[in-house]
């Protein structure tokens, strides 16, 4: 297994190096692809590229899809940001959804997956003015000091009205493939098509991810992922037709499992992004982001989780429901952000 492993890692590093200077414009292109999917992963601080073995691997590390027994699925809904008060039952400012299915390809060990990610802000008002004074100019105000600028305390003469509402949405379609090389090594990749829309403007583009998972033994595994391997580009349909590029991000992860007397299992995970500074974190720095997570599972049924996502506290729980040949996992996560507020996530995943 040493030769395939070295070849895969060398290829991924080469692609990453070639794409490292691909960005043309924009510091935080396609930010919605950084939000993360799956309540289990988010409760563990987003430290999941080595641990993931369910359908959400299509997002975190496509190589992990080989751990799905035969067929799998996952679905997530989250009302994000503090308008919803952090409650899964309240409507937040933005709605974030993920849905996918995993199927065998060829023999049952290779897998394909199709996934959809959407982050949307709906019912955004477009405000205009009613020409109250009939001067033919919309937005006339009482210019008390006659400087031509609307200063504090100077009120509009024209009446503000909502002309219409519109949505701001970010969508991505991922098509994934993964296959094992023996018992230790799995590799996989995503091809993704992205679309962003705000009011009458849209942007479209594409990119891909590469991932590899190496199982040292039944208790320890490591993973290496290159997200947006050569830069994921999105081009807008405005007059200037600008192109924004999401830079490649190499991500390393490790996961360890410790059985506790046959009735419990303790899992610890750690990930590091090597080139991912985001608009929701510090804008300065070297781009490295650390993620840590822990999970205690009792009787293979109930799990309790805690983590740290770039220094922010995360927590959650989940339980497993076996029904004949179908296995369902219901998971909840709570995450914090000092500026954007608390977020609750509920996700459903399983195999069949």
Q: State the average pLDDT for the chain.
A: 86
Q: Quick one: pLDDT band at residue 40, thresholds 50, 70, 90? A: very high
**In which band, very low, low, confident or very high, does the pLDDT at 15 lie, cut at 50, 70 and 90?**
very low
Kindly report, residue by residue over 162-206, the tens digit of the pLDDT.
Answer: 888 877 899 999 999 999 999 999 999 999 999 999 888 999 999
Q: What is the pLDDT of residue 338?
A: 67
Question: Across residues 32-46, what is the average pLDDT?
Answer: 95
Give the model's pLDDT for residue 78: 84
Q: What percent of the chain has pLDDT over 70?
A: 84
Show me where the domains of the chain are located: 2-125+162-351
- At 24 the pLDDT is 42
pLDDT at position 4 = 56
| pLDDT > 90 fraction of the chain, expressed in percent and rounded | 59
Residue 256 has pLDDT above 60, yes or no: yes
Q: What per-residue confidence (pLDDT) applies to 229? A: 95
pLDDT over threshold 80, residue 26: no
Here the contacts of 299-306 (C-beta below 8 Å, separation 24 or greater) are 299/263, 299/264, 300/265, 303/40, 303/331, 305/40, 305/43, 305/44, 305/333, 306/43, 306/44
Of the listed ranges 23-37, 158-172, 231-245, the least confidently predicted one is: 23-37
The arithmetic mean of pLDDT across residues 90-111, rounded, is 86
More confident site: 102 or 8 = 102
Euclidean distance between CA atoms 185 and 202, whole angstroms: 40
Domain 2-125+162-351 has CATH 2.40.160.60: yes
The yes-or-no verdict on residue 290 having pLDDT over 90 is yes
128-161 per-position pLDDT tens digit: 888 888 888 888 888 899 898 989 988 888 888 8
Beta strands in the chain (DSSP E): 72-80, 94-105, 107-130, 159-181, 185-198, 201-215, 220-227, 232-236, 243-246, 249-260, 264-273, 289-298, 302-309, 312-323, 326-335, 343-351
């Amino acid at each position: 297994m040493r030769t395939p492993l070295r070849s895969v890692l060398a290829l991924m590093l080469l692609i990453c190096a070639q794409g490292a200077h691909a960005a043309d414009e924009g510091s935080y292109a396609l930010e919605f692809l950084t939000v993360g999917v799956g309540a289990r992963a988010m409760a563990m601080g987003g430290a999941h590229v080595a641990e993931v073995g369910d359908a959400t691997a299509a997002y975190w590390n496509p190589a992990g899809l080989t751990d799905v027994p035969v067929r799998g699925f996952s679905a997530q809904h989250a009302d994000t940001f503090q308008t919803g008060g952090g409650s899964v039952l309240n409507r937040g400012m933005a709605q974030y959804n993920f849905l996918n299915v995993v199927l065998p390809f060829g023999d049952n060990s290779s897998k394909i997956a199709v996934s959809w990610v959407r982050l949307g802000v709906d019912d955004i008002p477009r405000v205009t003015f009613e020409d109250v004074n009939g001067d033919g100019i919309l937005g006339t105000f009482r210019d008390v000091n006659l400087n031509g600028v609307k200063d504090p305390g100077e009120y509009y003469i024209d009446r503000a009205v909502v002309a219409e509402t519109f949505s701001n949405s970010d969508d991505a379609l991922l098509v994934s493939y993964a296959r094992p090389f023996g018992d230790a090594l799995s590799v996989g990749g995503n091809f993704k098509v992205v679309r962003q829309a705000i009011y009458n403007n849209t942007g479209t583009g594409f990119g891909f991810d590469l991932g590899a998972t190496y199982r040292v033994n039944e208790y320890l595994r490591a993973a290496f992922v290159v997200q947006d391997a050569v830069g994921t580009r999105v081009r807008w349909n405005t007059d200037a037709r600008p192109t924004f590029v999401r830079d490649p991000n190499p991500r390393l992860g490790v996961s360890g499992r410790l059985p506790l007397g046959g009735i419990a299992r303790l899992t610890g995970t750690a990930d590091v992004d090597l080139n991912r500074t985001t608009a929701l974190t510090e804008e300065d720095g070297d781009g490295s982001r650390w993620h840590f997570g822990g999970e205690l599972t009792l009787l293979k049924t109930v799990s309790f989780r805690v983590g740290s996502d770039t220094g922010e506290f995360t927590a959650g729980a989940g339980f497993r429901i076996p029904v004949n040949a179908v296995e369902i996992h219901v998971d909840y996560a709570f995450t914090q952000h000092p500026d954007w507020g608390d977020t609750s996530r509920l996700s459903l995943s399983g195999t069949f």
